[in-house]
Amino acid sequence: MQLRNLVSKQLLKKQLAEETFKRITVSFYRYLKLGDVENFRNQLFIDFTDLQVFGRIYIASEGVNAQVSVPEHNWNKFTEYLNQNEYLKDVPLKIAVEDDGKSFYKLIVRIKNKIVADGLDDNAFDVSNVGKHLSAKEFNEALGHPDTIVVDMRNHYESEVGYFENALKPDADTFRDALPKAIEMTKDDKDKKILLYCTGGIRCEKASAYFKHHGYKDVNQLYGGIIQYARDIKSGELENKYHGKNFVFDERMGERISDEIVSTCHQCGALCDTHVNCANDDCHLLFIQCNECREKYQGCCTVECQTIINLPLEEQKKLRKGKKKENAHAVFKSRLRPDLKQLLSDSKK
């Protein structure tokens, strides 16, 4: 069998829309030492294909990082498979808070140098010396401590739509950039209680070890990240100290943790926390857009992009010719391009 997908995106999305069963979106990760990475990758692709699992899985010699969508009728087979796998037995599963079953439309299993791009030399410090894992209840209690420093280890476009109370939010496009900025922001607080959090916990595993390597005395991290926190506050009837949405890296782009909207439309400034990608595929900019602006600009970030998507297809192809298409899924940029404000301003004249 082919060990990669060869079906068009359009057909895959159509097939997903026509499915008559429910899916469960779940994420998991584990740092471990993998021997034959390629064989592990290929077998996982074959077995997950048999289970009709969709999603994105990164595999490296240091471990596995997965966000997947599992057919509800195959859930038991899926968990049994994980528990029979020597590398994935008893791996903690983080089930999505809000799930329409349309988070992924195909299966991607890729071999990477690292399961999270952190830019760190893992030989330079003890990556296993991680911070203390805190439950949702413990995290809430620690938030109330006067000497606590809370650090959001996500990117700026994630923290823009949701965050914990009083959190420091590094102004970074990537986790690689967030790490040194977080250290710089807290360099005078090494004797204070440090609380780290991220989406599902994986970034905090490496970040907490990095903080301890830099001399921080009391480093803690939210167990299971925001995803697990949201489920625990509901089941445990705990106070929700998270404001807004949790950004997720799939077709949903977010799941609501509280009813608050803490961000605004990048085009008109109205309250909004809906991330979209520009409808012009040659741009594909990630930004926040309200329904009114979505209609006005046809899902585009600028009038320039709106003009392009309304050109005949052949004209669009001519414009693309010779241009290197940027992978906006790899480099998310939710800030407006330098020219965007001016273009929007000109369009309103």
Angle between helices 136-143 and 225-235 (to 10 degrees): 100
Residue pair 281/183 in contact by the 8 Å Cβ criterion: no
Strands 242-246 and 255-256: antiparallel
Whole-angstrom distance, CA of residue 69 vs CA of residue 252:
12
Q: Is 268 a catalytic residue?
A: no
Write the CA distances from 331 to 132, 173, 300, integer angstroms. 31, 8, 18
Annotate 48-77 with b (16+ C-beta within 10 A) or e (fewer). bbebbbbbbbbbbbbbbbbbbbbbeebeee
Helix, strand or coil, per DSSP, at residue 244: strand
Residue pair 181/134 in contact by the 8 Å Cβ criterion: no
- Residue-level length of the chain: 349
Spot the catalytic one: 198, 278, 283, 290: 198
Residue pair 190/217 in contact by the 8 Å Cβ criterion: yes
Whole-angstrom distance, CA of residue 191 vs CA of residue 215:
9
Whole-angstrom distance, CA of residue 68 vs CA of residue 185:
34
Whole-angstrom distance, CA of residue 340 vs CA of residue 29:
38
Q: Record the tokens describing residue 84, joined without a space.
A: 């029979």
Name the DSSP letter for residue 131: P
Whole-angstrom distance, CA of residue 177 vs CA of residue 153:
10
Residue pair 99/27 in contact by the 8 Å Cβ criterion: no
Whole-angstrom distance, CA of residue 267 vs CA of residue 64:
38
Whole-angstrom distance, CA of residue 336 vs CA of residue 211:
32
Helix, strand or coil, per DSSP, at residue 199: coil
Positions marked catalytic: 198
